[in-house]
Amino acid sequence: SRIRHYKFTVVKKNTSKLCASKPIITVNGKFPGPTLYAREDDTVVVRVVNHVKDNVTFHWHGIRQLRTGWADGPAYITQCPIQTGQSYIYNFTLTGQRGTLLWHAHINWQRATVHGAIVILPKRGVPYPFPKPDKEEIIVFGEWWKSDVEMVINQAMKLGQPPNVSDAHTINGQTGPAPNCSSKGYTMYVESGKTYLLRIVNAAVNEELFFKIAGHQMTIVEVDATYTKPFRTDTIFIGPGQTTNALLKADRKIGNYQIAISPFMDTIVATDSQTATATLRYNGTLSAAASSPTTLTTMPSKNATKVTTNFMDSLRSLNSRKYPANVPKTIDHSLLLAIGVGVNPCGTCVNGSRVVADINNVTFVMPTTAILQAHYYNVSGVYTDDFPGNPPVPYNYTGSPPTNMQTTNGTKVYRLGYNSTVQIVLQGTAIIAPESHPTHLHGFNFYVVGKGIGNYDPKNDPKSFNLVDPIERNTISVPTGGWTAIRFRADNPGVWFLHCHLEIHTTWGLKMAFVVENGKGPNQSILPPPSDLPKC
Ligand code: C2O
């Protein structure tokens, strides 16, 4: 194993899209930011220097950070922000992980422009558990607002209303063929007969997305840096924070084929229907402009729940001898977390009410110092230990009208003993409308053992759980109007954030944290903080 050094200089950079230019926060002046490359078991050292007026933090989404929670990055959860002119070194080891992940800023809405891919190759000499691709291609999805992103969200919070939807989606930083602004859109070149490993990253802010390539099927081999049983599909469903590796064989007639992404949603809160396109071009093809027409693709409709269900149901852990699925069979902590978006009264808001989001009726309030520090140094008054493991009263989560409208504010955590096993049923609620929530847990991969529509039934639903080869991931879309059950082992001491990866839902309060205690044995405690850990 090696040590990989990176330097992330955070700078503003004027960037043009949709016929207009605006300064955005970037890493090293790039949008998307640089790709981190490493191998399994390598140590990654990223020196961040902040040259912008805003505070920054960086999160390495999906990297387990075993005993190194100080490098995990969510602002006020594991660290205080890196202030203007300051630097911080993120130092972590990629224990037992290989595949595609992403990094992104983890403060306010900065990840809109501050994100990039992480590629972890298998150890030298260890092959992929699928046929070796001829080449690899990274494909990163994003969202673009014409106005300043922090202004968009600050304005929305002031009014208590949903924010403006983005003005465009991007594929590798490009919005796609726009007739007026001569953006050609991203082009992926392929050679006829060759196989490509697509490393697909959804770094969008508020959108779960469909992804298609006209005329081509893909074979899914990995999600969230865990190998899957291969399956073929023409449509990929991917939530923000999720990653998907797919094999693409250039087996069609030489030509231009449209690549497209479009949003999935069946909610009244988001109204986006933007599509971004790119081109798959076989070598030897003239450009579309030079009269070789592009084969177009048709995208699923915005509320194509069937497509999302089919895709998610097809995902299974590889569960081979080499890559076994270690699903916890007995459970120490069983939690039911009702998650949703609702409204609270608000005197100063336009409609006299404010949109909020909650878990078990707690709207999480960010503390002013990092919870991990408070936990490590035993500082009281930063958070309370009483996060409810169950909703306050039994109610009809998915019916209407709902009973539990009013949320309470709090900075509450849920405590887990070292190495305890945990089951969480994430139950979507329908206070404003049933919505899909791509929920992300820091510090762990979890197994998705079950899901269903309607209210979770603790008596009968566990009977159909898959404890053999459930998919293992770090971010899971909780179905609209339904629930998802996940299991994991709390073998990573520290403070770990759980939140909806739709940034607007996080901002509204759909978030909480777990405190995982140190174990008693050797190598079961969180390591001491680095000396340059930022202060609040
Ligand atoms: Cu990718 Cu807490 O985030």
- DSSP string for 72-129: T--BTTTBPPBPTT-EEEEEEE-TT--EEEEEEE-STTGGGTSEEEEEEEPPTTPPPS
Do 166 and 118 share a structural domain?
A: no
Do 139 and 101 share a structural domain?
A: no
The answer to whether residue 175 scores a pLDDT higher than 60 is yes
Cβ partners under 8 Å of residue 439, min gap 6: 339, 426, 475, 476, 477, 478, 484, 498, 499, 500, 501
What is the per-residue pLDDT for 436? 86
Q: Which residues line ligand 1 (CB under 6 A)?
A: 59, 61, 74, 104, 106, 241, 440, 442, 497, 499, 501
The secondary element (H helix, E strand) that includes residue 219 is strand 218-223
d(CA 471, CA 447): 6
Distance 448 CA to ligand 1 centre (A): 18
Atom of ligand 1 nearest to the CA of 61: 1
Do 389 and 307 share a structural domain?
A: no
What is the per-residue pLDDT for 268? 46
Q: Give the helix, strand, coil percentages of the chain, each rounded to 5.
A: 10, 40, 50
Q: What band does 180 get if pLDDT is binned at 50, 70 and 90?
A: low
Q: What is the mean pLDDT of residues 484-503?
A: 97
* CATH code of the domain in which 60 resides: 2.60.40.420
- Closest among 358, 507, 325 to 426, alpha carbons compared: 358
What is the per-residue pLDDT for 530? 98
Distance 147 CA to ligand 1 centre (A): 23
Distance 249 CA to ligand 1 centre (A): 32
Cβ partners under 8 Å of residue 111, min gap 6: 104, 105, 203, 205, 503
Decide: 359 and 497 in contact? Cβ < 8 Å: no
Question: pLDDT tens digits for 1-58?
Answer: 899 999 999 999 999 998 899 999 999 999 999 999 999 999 999 999 999 999 999 9
- Percent residues over pLDDT 70 in the chain: 95
Would residue 158 count as lying in a domain? yes
Rg (alpha carbons) of the chain, rounded to whole number: 22
Would residue 399 count as lying in a domain? yes
The answer to whether residue 286 scores a pLDDT higher than 90 is no
Do 134 and 58 share a structural domain?
A: no
Do 107 and 234 share a structural domain?
A: no
Do 165 and 120 share a structural domain?
A: no
Distance 230 CA to ligand 1 centre (A): 27
The answer to whether residue 404 scores a pLDDT higher than 70 is no
Atom of ligand 1 nearest to the CA of 442: 2
Last residue of a domain, one of 317, 344, 377: 317
Atom of ligand 1 nearest to the CA of 240: 1
Distance 105 CA to ligand 1 centre (A): 9
What is the per-residue pLDDT for 481? 84
What is the per-residue pLDDT for 340? 87
Atom of ligand 1 nearest to the CA of 74: 2
Number of domains in the chain: 3
Provide DSSP, 17-58: ETTEEEEEEEETTBSS-PPEEEETT-EEEEEEEE-SSS-B-E
- Closest among 107, 492, 159, 200 to 355, alpha carbons compared: 159
Do 186 and 241 share a structural domain?
A: yes
Question: pLDDT tens digits for 294-322?
Answer: 899 999 998 899 999 999 999 999 999 99
Would residue 325 count as lying in a domain? no
Q: What band does 217 get if pLDDT is binned at 50, 70 and 90?
A: very high
Distance 240 CA to ligand 1 centre (A): 9
d(CA 221, CA 40): 17
Cα 151 to chain centroid, rounded: 23
| Residue whose CA lies nearest to ligand 1 atom number 3 | 61
What is the per-residue pLDDT for 409? 94
One-letter amino acid for residue 185 of the chain? G
Evaluate the CA torsion angle 520, 523, 524, 529 in order and state its sign. Answer: positive
Buried b (16+ CB within 10 A) or exposed e, 46-84: bebbbebebbbbbbbbbbbbbbbbbbbbbbbbbbbbbee
Cβ partners under 8 Å of residue 250, min gap 6: 190, 191, 192, 193, 194, 195, 196, 282
Question: pLDDT tens digits for 415-426?
Answer: 999 999 999 999
Question: pLDDT tens digits for 424-462?
Answer: 999 998 777 778 899 999 999 999 999 999 899 999 999
Give me 101's structure tokens: 């992940």
What is the per-residue pLDDT for 292? 73
Give me 157's structure tokens: 């919070």
Cβ partners under 8 Å of residue 147, min gap 6: 22, 164
Distance 285 CA to ligand 1 centre (A): 40
What is the per-residue pLDDT for 267? 57
- ipTM reported for the complex, 2 dp: 0.99
Would residue 324 count as lying in a domain? no
Q: What is the mean pLDDT of residues 473-487?
A: 94
What is the per-residue pLDDT for 266? 59
What is the per-residue pLDDT for 176? 77
Cα 55 to chain centroid, rounded: 21
d(CA 409, CA 357): 10
Helix residue ranges, H only, 224-359? 305-314
Do 461 and 350 share a structural domain?
A: yes
Distance 61 CA to ligand 1 centre (A): 6
Would residue 101 count as lying in a domain? yes
Distance 428 CA to ligand 1 centre (A): 19
Q: What band does 480 get if pLDDT is binned at 50, 70 and 90?
A: confident
Q: What is the mean pLDDT of residues 207-213?
A: 96
Starting at the edge strand found earlier in the chain, the sheet holding 437-441 runs: 413-416, 511-516, 494-500, 437-441, 475-478
What is the per-residue pLDDT for 178? 63
- Closest among 296, 289, 16 to 175, alpha carbons compared: 16
What is the per-residue pLDDT for 289? 61
Distance 51 CA to ligand 1 centre (A): 23
The answer to whether residue 501 scores a pLDDT higher than 80 is yes
Distance 238 CA to ligand 1 centre (A): 15
Of 97-101, 246-250, 303-307, 369-373, give the lowest mean pLDDT range.
303-307
Distance 176 CA to ligand 1 centre (A): 27
Last residue of a domain, one of 110, 125, 140: 125
Atom of ligand 1 nearest to the CA of 241: 1
Do 484 and 352 share a structural domain?
A: yes
Would residue 327 count as lying in a domain? no
Do 476 and 384 share a structural domain?
A: yes
The answer to whether residue 202 scores a pLDDT higher than 90 is yes
Per DSSP, 340 falls in state E
Evaluate the CA torsion angle 388, 394, 399, 402 in order and state its sign. Answer: negative
Evaluate the CA torsion angle 479, 484, 488, 492 in order and state its sign. Answer: positive
Would residue 178 count as lying in a domain? yes
Q: Which of the pair, 268 or 351, is modelled with greater confidence?
A: 351
Its pTM stands at 0.96
Do 159 and 68 share a structural domain?
A: no
The secondary element (H helix, E strand) that includes residue 515 is strand 511-516
Range of the domain at 418: 333-516
Cα 399 to chain centroid, rounded: 28
Distance 134 CA to ligand 1 centre (A): 32
Do 393 and 300 share a structural domain?
A: no
Would residue 323 count as lying in a domain? no
What is the per-residue pLDDT for 405? 60
Distance 502 CA to ligand 1 centre (A): 10
Atom of ligand 1 nearest to the CA of 73: 2
Last residue of a domain, one of 79, 106, 125: 125
What is the per-residue pLDDT for 460? 97
d(CA 295, CA 299): 13
Distance 291 CA to ligand 1 centre (A): 43
Question: pLDDT tens digits for 347-356?
Answer: 888 888 888 9
Per DSSP, 178 falls in state B
